[in-house]
Amino acid sequence: MAICPICGDKIGILLKSKTSDGIICNYCATICPSVSTTSTNEIKEYWRENHKRFSSFIKTSELSSFMYPNETITIDDNHMLFYIGKEKKLKKEPIVYKYEEVDSYELEEVGGKTVTKKKGGITRAIIGGAIAGPAGAIVGAATAKSETKRVGGTTILKVKIELPYGLKTLSFFNTSSKIKEFFDKCMNVNKTKNQSNDEQKQFFSVADELIKLKALLDSGVITSEEFEAKKKQLLSQ
């Protein structure tokens, strides 16, 4: 029986995933959204990074549901990390996500069917016919109101995670306000980080322009007045 080159477990015939250059177990494949186009060594590196996160993980709280125990979110608020699963029931190292990697979430209706019901058509047709004959009946039927609604089905919370190696989607049947509040919190961390990165890029861009301007001043291409005017313009952005 084949051995997974990442975790060392035996690989069953129906429990294997094909990478771009080999075979790994299905569990090790869960960390990568595009296993078939990723090399085994790359996926191994993803798990090494994950192991660093898991090694530093210290549980501070968890979000659990009696209805959906397998969707428990275990949280390390100090390091801003989380994983799916109950701490005491882990059989393998879970995939650990950073708050800032939560990109967005949405509610999606799955299953069920759409039913359209007409209201008032028959009554109006009878009244119309009594007043104006067959023509009145036709007009009366045409004025019937339609009401469309969805029957059955389930609402699923889909969370998009922007990992270094691709976009991953987590699905939850638990759509409680607490779980949505948690992911809102994660998205705020993501937003703050992106704003910080943008500000940092802008800072280095301005600094680079000032260096270029100083070189032009030193070489006599621009005057001191031109340099100061351009410098003031850049710093006011």
pLDDT exceeds 70 at position 32: yes
Residue 161 and residue 97 in contact, taking contact as beta carbons nearer than 8 Å: yes
Q: Is residue 18 part of a domain?
A: yes
Domain holding 134, by residue range, is 113-151
How many distinct structural domains can be found in the chain?
Answer: 2
Out of 60-64, 149-153, 164-168, give the one with best mean pLDDT. 60-64
Mean pLDDT lowest among 19-33, 117-131, 182-196:
117-131
Q: Is residue 32 part of a domain?
A: yes
Q: How far apart are CA 59 and CA 88, in angstroms?
A: 11
Q: How far apart are CA 83 and CA 94, in angstroms?
A: 6
In this prediction, residue 129 has a pLDDT band, given cuts at 50, 70 and 90, of: very low
Q: Is residue 121 part of a domain?
A: yes
Residue among 105, 116, 183, 179 nearest 147 (CA)? 116
Question: Is the whole-model pTM more than 0.75?
Answer: no
Q: Is residue 47 part of a domain?
A: yes
Residue range 200-213, pLDDT digits in tens: 555 556 667 778 87
Q: Is residue 108 part of a domain?
A: no
In this prediction, residue 143 has a pLDDT band, given cuts at 50, 70 and 90, of: low
Q: How far apart are CA 106 and CA 34, in angstroms?
A: 22
Residue 63 and residue 179 in contact, taking contact as beta carbons nearer than 8 Å: yes
Residue range 58-95, pLDDT digits in tens: 999 999 988 898 999 999 999 999 999 999 999 999 99
Q: Is residue 26 part of a domain?
A: yes
Q: Is residue 5 part of a domain?
A: yes
Q: Is residue 228 part of a domain?
A: no
pLDDT exceeds 60 at position 135: no
In this prediction, residue 164 has a pLDDT band, given cuts at 50, 70 and 90, of: confident
What 8-state DSSP symbol labels residue 223?
-
| pLDDT for residue 128 | 45
